[in-house]
Chain A
């Protein structure tokens, strides 16, 4: 603050020099100045390519030569292709497993870790290790864990009499397998977010609740969860976006010939663009994905008033 008050005259001079302009125009100019670096980036590296892709969505283009206008043909092809329909189901199924699984488990661990005292940072480091483990190592380890012939997981299961499934080969288990890996790897990030949220609630609310005779469970339901609801909203928006774009795991586990049961929307986009050279269809599919995500996010924000509480 002292630095601010140190130079009032200077600032006043600056203010008076702009006397001719209305407050509104001055604000607009100021906003543009502050926004300019990001606006240049947005325009050159995002909107520009996006327009190009939008044009492609209405064209036939194989990556080379001239594109020809295709109307809504690509969209019709995408919507009627059974392989893509399957990939949509797979993606939704993956999201339905991964997002709640991830959020519930990270929330539970975050609550438990609040009580872990000095060991917290050690545990947290362990939970974050998967975040920084490279996808190559992740694939190597999980290919081994999912292989029913050599996996220690399946020998452990077998010793208690359970026949473990052939995760990556069985069409019913391959998406759950990806969800398990995604939860395992994403847990650290969400855990850190939840722990931060919990710490910001502080103990005063909980102590007050305790004085009111609330049990541990009641505290959780009536105090902790409502106070964490903004964090929950933030994480659910960002993790649904991330989960709908799931692609890397399938690619590192199965390369470019994953079976239909394992293919997701973005996997199909890459496949159609770079393996089948059909950029028009790939762009059309990508725009449909973009629109659905916008819809889902808008819906989440529309219903948030009913359950999200802000501590004001």
Chain B
């Protein structure tokens, strides 16, 4: 009897629907008005309770829960950890809109500017300078937290990096030796001959052997190192994009585009972060993989030999500034328990806190200075110290890329288009990226 479904009386239907919508609109209004209240955390423990949220795999989740127990004893409060196991932004936004977000939570680089603008997170300057915090801002490499400041250059620091992952080159020794590469990148670096030319030469040999040399995606982590490899600058001290006018940055981009063109480097497009590269690397089909320390747990059982090397430099022996992926922990502006939440944040990123969270099979590098033993733990990979050296010189995502949430979503799309277009030059690439950043300011 489908004829009755959509046929007659459009007006009657419309009238009825508007009536119902109206009635329910009234019901929905108090729901919105009430969204300030109703936090999830209950209260026990003498100092009340405090909670934080983060994305976490099961290993991290377990470790964070132990951390919560330990911290609870220390700061005399009930500490709760919420693991977010999927779409982090959707979850946090729902919680913030419903007034039920935890006292502290992770903020990814793409969301920081919006969170600051919308006054959802609080300035930590006062706490950091107040003398009660177990950390000072100076304990962290300066270029690692610039993105936690307001994009317009005003004062304040709205998050502290929890840990980080520098952009290094992991390599498969077996693939390299099968391709006739006699000295691997770490040996070349130690011999002072790890130059962009040496990398190009190595990639060429791998390509001739029928395997892939290196796969890069449109993620800034994967391509921005080309702009700084020859000593160029991506941004100036104020955070403004300058790579379009820096000849050395242009040289690096030209080098990268030439590698794409020759097939030495494959553009992986927009597959999930690193996934295709990871799979091929694990399958022994890829010589170099440009990822962070997070690859370590997956490499535990592989049968081939592997190690890491920094991105090459013109001198062949220096470590150049390269991207460092990081996330920050921030204070909910409407935190129920501000005092304890600040203590939680301070202890979370302090040396002790990071050591507790990251030692014993961790998958990141500490974001605080003076914890070198984490990355070298167990002697795997052999040159783990280079993680620390790269972090010390590296940079987090430029504020120009994420100062506006529209830029943050449009940039990867633009880079994807440019990398797929064979007529792209270093100059056209730089001006298109700069134009996007300027236009959405």
A145 to chain B, nearest CB (A): 12
CA distance A144 to B282 in the complex (A): 13
Task: Give B333's nearest chain A residue, CB to CB.
Answer: A64
Q: Report B-chain residues with C-beta under 8 Å of the C-beta of A47.
A: 20-21, 24
Q: How far is the CA of A260 from the CA of B270 in the complex (A)?
A: 10
Write out the residue numbers on chain B whose beta carbons fall within 8 Å of the beta carbon of A308.
2
A71 interface residue per 8 A CB criterion: no
Chain A residues in 8 Å Cβ range of B2 = 233, 301, 304, 308
CA distance A219 to B43 in the complex (A): 72
Docked complex Cα distance between A260 and B421 (Å): 14
* A89 at interface, CB cutoff 8 A: no
Which of B349-357, B401-409, B422-430 contacts its partner? B401-409
Shortest Cβ distance from residue B347 to the other chain A in the assembled complex, whole angstroms: 28
Q: Which of A9-17, A181-189, A200-208, A271-279 contacts B (4 or more CB under 8 A)?
A: A271-279
Contacting residues of chain B (90-122) with chain A, CB-CB under 8 angstroms: 90, 93, 96-97, 110, 114, 118-120
Q: Please indicate the chain B residues that have their CB under 8 angstroms from the CB of A258 in the complex.
A: 270
Report the stretch among B25-33, B74-82, B175-183 that lies at the interface. B25-33
Contact with B along A139-152 (1 / 0, CB 8 A): 00001100101100
**Once bound together, how far apart are the Cα atoms of A47 and B285, in whole Å?**
53
B333–chain A nearest beta-carbon distance, Å: 10
**A92 within 8 Å of B (CB atoms):** no
B276 within 8 A of partner (CB): yes
Q: How far is the CB of A169 from chain B (nearest CB, A)?
A: 4
Q: List the A side residues contacting B32 at CB < 8 Å.
A: 52
- State which of A27-35, A153-161, A249-257 sits at the interface with chain B: A249-257
How many Cβ-Cβ contacts under 8 Å join chain A to chain B? 120
| Chain A at the B interface: SS class | helix
Chain B contacts for A44, CB-based, 8 A: 24, 27
| A304-B405 Cα distance, complex, nearest whole Å | 46
Docked CA distance A123–B93 (Å):
45
Q: Verify if B46 is at the interface (C-beta below 8 Å from A).
A: no
The answer for the CA separation of A304 and B28 in the assembled complex, in Å, is: 38
| A169 touching B118, Cβ below 8 Å | no
Interface residues of B in 376-430 (CB under 8 A from A): 405-406, 408-409, 412-413, 416-417, 420
| Contact assessment for A302 and B6 in the assembled complex, using a CB-CB cutoff below 8 Å | yes
Within 8 A of A (CB), among B9-59: 20-21, 23-25, 27-28, 31-32
Query: In this assembly, does A164 line the interface, its C-beta being within 8 Å of a C-beta of chain B?
Result: no
Across-interface contacts of A271 in B (CB, < 8 A): 409
Give the Cβ gap from A36 to chain B, nearest Cβ, in Å: 14
Shortest distance from the beta carbon of B69 to any chain A beta carbon, whole Å: 31
Known: A51-B21, A308-B2. A274 touches B87 (CB 8 A): yes
| Residues in A whose Cβ lies below 8 Å from that of B212 | 149
CB–CB B279/A257 < 8 A? no
Kindly provide the distance from the CB of B198 to the nearest chain A CB, expressed in whole angstroms.
25
Q: Which residue of B lies closest to A54 (CB)?
A: B21
B89 within 8 A of A: yes
Name the A residues within 8 Å of B155 (CB-CB): none
Contact between A257 and B96 (Cβ–Cβ < 8 Å)? no
Across the interface, B6 reaches (CB within 8 A) one of A233, A301, A305, namely A301
Please name all residues of chain B whose beta carbon is closer than 8 Å to the beta carbon of A298 when the two chains form the complex. 6
* CA of A302 to CA of B409, assembled, Å: 41
Whether B408 lies near A168 (C-beta < 8 A) is no
- A274 vs B87: C-alpha distance when bound (angstroms): 9
Contact of A305 among B3, B89, B219 (CB under 8 A): B3
Question: How far is it, in angstroms, between the C-alpha of A301 and the C-alpha of B270 when the chains are bound?
Answer: 40
A62-B114, A64-B97, A150-B285 given; A43·B24 CB < 8 A: yes
Cβ of A262 within 8 Å of any chain B Cβ, yes or no, is yes
A48-B24, A49-B28, A301-B3 given as contacts; is B271 within 8 A of A168 (CB)? yes
Inter-chain contacts of B110 with A (CB < 8 A): 275
**A48:B114 contact, CB within 8 angstroms:** no
Residue A41 lies at the interface, judged by CB distance under 8 Å to chain B: no
- Option from A43, A143, A256, A259 in Cβ contact (under 8 Å) with B27: A43
Q: Which chain A residue has the least Cβ–Cβ distance from B110?
A: A275
A217 CA to B227 CA, complexed, in Å: 65
The answer for the CA separation of A64 and B28 in the assembled complex, in Å, is 17
Smallest CB–CB gap between B32 and chain A, Å? 7
B6–A253 touching, CB < 8 Å: no
Docked Cα-Cα span, A233 to B283, in Å, equals: 47
Report how far A39 CA is from B270 CA in the complex, Å: 44
Q: Give Cα A220 to B261, complex, Å.
A: 54
Q: How far is the CA of A297 from the CA of B21 in the complex (A)?
A: 22
CB contacts (< 8 Å) of B65 on chain A: these are none
Asked if B153 is an interface residue, CB under 8 A from chain A, the answer is no
Q: CB < 8 Å: which of A51, A168, A301, A302 contacts B269?
A: A168
Asked if B24 and A254 make an inter-chain contact with CB atoms under 8 angstroms apart, the answer reads no
> Nearest residue in A to B408 (C-beta to C-beta)?
A275
Which residues B176-215 have CB closer than 8 A to chain A?
212
| Contact present for B417 and A259 (CB under 8 Å) | yes
Please tell me if the beta carbons of A257 and B6 are within 8 angstroms of each other in the complex. no
Contacts of B129 in A (CB 8 A): none
CB within 8 Å for A259 and B406 given contacts A63-B93, A301-B2: no
Q: Which 10 A-B pairs have the closest CB atoms?
A: A257-B412, A64-B118, A298-B6, A51-B25, A255-B272, A169-B269, A48-B28, A47-B24, A48-B24, A274-B89
24 pairs of residues in contact across A and B, judged by CB atoms under 8 Å: A51-B25, A52-B28, A54-B21, A55-B25, A62-B114, A63-B93, A63-B96, A64-B120, A150-B280, A150-B285, A168-B269, A171-B420, A254-B271, A257-B412, A257-B413, A259-B417, A270-B90, A275-B89, A275-B409, A301-B7, A302-B7, A304-B2, A304-B3, A305-B3
Task: Give 10 A-B pairs besides A65-B119, A259-B416, A304-B2 with Cβ atoms closer than 8 angstroms.
Answer: A47-B21, A51-B25, A63-B118, A147-B276, A168-B269, A168-B271, A277-B118, A301-B5, A302-B7, A308-B2
